């Protein structure tokens, strides 16, 4: 089958080539991929940034999101049948959605929202699961609470704003001047133009911050939280607890304990809780998200669409950090 692979870690090392067809396990569904989408995670994996946490064998097929059609099911699969239209974020150990087919554990798969195209559905899994696992699962965001979502025009931010608004929270976000009105239309109550204002001098007494940016923004975010608030980061630094959950070695657990020591100490001084969230595949949560999409509570946000032959260009475009919402790669 045709696939977009990397043979080594580094910048711009991907290529389209031939790869072996997936082996379908007893609990797997074999999916013909109609569309995928590009995430910052793809670039980080490709560059080798995650090779200690996710030690993939090379050559590696990239891609963490998909929408497509089930063409075969394993002998113990009960939830899906050939012909079902589905979407998924594969488990992190079995990525590879930039390909004609992929075998995915049925527990990571959900039926595609009925009111979306394949491209729209493919834009959702990773970012929507991230938003869900930060806001619903970790923060347990409640009606009337205040949440700051950084980078509101990005892939995660654009979905997180919609989800937080649905949960009844007061939503603040940061973005550039050009995107202020656009993120307001997504449902943000208060928008900080980071080119004009310092968010930490404007916002106070927030319950939750979702951070997807760098260390400087992470440190400043402590200032906007009230005692008992939660600083939740999807961009690091990772914690020893995360390393334990990943089953990483004791030395790596200690490395991550050290990496996060500074922010955890500062958070404790302000009676704030720091958590690192690394999104997990979860078909049950994706099915709940599909319901919200069908009810028009969450709407997919696509910036640009690329052909499969232009996957490398799509990756470069996402790396520029200017996409509004998601970037999609279409295979069918």
Question: Residue 277: its pLDDT value, please?
Answer: 96
Is the model's pTM score more than 0.95? yes
pLDDT tens-digit readout, 99-123: 999 999 999 999 999 999 999 999 9
CATH superfamily for 2-124+300-330 is: Medium-chain alcohol dehydrogenases, catalytic domain (3.90.180.10)
Confidence of residue 13 (pLDDT cuts 50, 70, 90): confident
> Which residues lie closer than 8 Å to 33 by C-beta, 6 or more apart?
66, 67, 68, 97, 99, 100, 101, 102, 331, 332
Higher confidence at residue 285 or residue 251?
285
Which of 98-102, 113-117, 200-204, 319-323 shows the lowest per-residue confidence on average (mean pLDDT)?
319-323
Task: Say whether pLDDT at 203 is over 90.
Answer: yes
Burial of residue 278, with CB atoms counted within 10 A of its CB: 0-12 exposed, 13-18 middle, 19 or more buried:
middle
Confidence of residue 55 (pLDDT cuts 50, 70, 90): confident
Question: Stretch 285-312: mean pLDDT, rounded?
Answer: 98
Burial of residue 296, with CB atoms counted within 10 A of its CB: 0-12 exposed, 13-18 middle, 19 or more buried:
exposed
Task: Say whether pLDDT at 185 is over 90.
Answer: yes
SS3 198: coil
Whether 97 contacts 64, CB under 8 Å: yes
The values of phi and psi at residue 277, to 5°, are -115, 125
Domain boundaries 126-276, CATH class: alpha beta
Opening angle at CA 321, ends 95 and 108, nearest 5? 25
Domain borders along the chain are 2-124+300-330, 126-276
């Amino acid at each position: 089958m045709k696939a977009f692979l990397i043979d080594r870690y580094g910048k711009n090392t991907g290529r389209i080539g031939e790869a072996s067809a997936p082996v379908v396990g007893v609990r797997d569904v074999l999916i013909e991929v109609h569309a995928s989408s590009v995430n910052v995670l793809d670039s980080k994996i490709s560059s080798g940034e995650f090779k200690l946490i996710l030690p993939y064998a090379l050559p590696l097929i990239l891609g963490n999101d998909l929408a497509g059609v089930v063409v075969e099911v394993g002998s113990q699969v009960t939830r899906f049948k050939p012909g079902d239209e589905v979407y998924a974020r594969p488990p992190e150990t079995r990525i590879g959605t930039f390909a004609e087919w992929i075998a995915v554990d049925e527990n990571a798969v959900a039926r595609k929202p009925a009111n979306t195209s394949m491209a729209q559905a493919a834009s959702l899994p990773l970012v929507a699961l991230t938003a869900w696992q930060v806001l619903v699962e970790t923060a347990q965001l409640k009606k009337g609470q205040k949440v700051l979502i950084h980078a509101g025009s990005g892939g995660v931010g654009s979905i997180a704003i919609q989800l937080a608004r649905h949960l009844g929270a007061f939503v603040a976000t940061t973005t550039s001047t050009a995107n202020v009105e656009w993120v307001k239309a997504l449902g943000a109550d208060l928008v900080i133009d980071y080119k004009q204002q310092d968010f930490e001098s404007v916002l106070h007494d927030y319950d939750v911050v979702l951070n997807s940016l760098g260390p400087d923004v992470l440190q400043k975010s402590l200032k906007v939280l009230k005692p008992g608030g939660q600083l939740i980061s999807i961009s690091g630094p990772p914690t020893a607890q995360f390393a334990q959950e990943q089953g990483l070695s004791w030395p790596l657990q200690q490395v991550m304990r050290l990496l996060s020591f500074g922010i955890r100490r500062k958070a404790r001084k302000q009676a704030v809780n720091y958590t690192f969230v690394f999104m997990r595949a979860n078909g049950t949560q994706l099915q709940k998200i599909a319901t919200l999409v069908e009810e028009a509570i969450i709407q997919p946000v696509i910036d640009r669409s690329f052909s499969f032959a232009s996957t490398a260009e799509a990756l470069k475009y996402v790396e520029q950090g200017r996409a509004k919402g998601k970037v999609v790669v279409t295979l069918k």
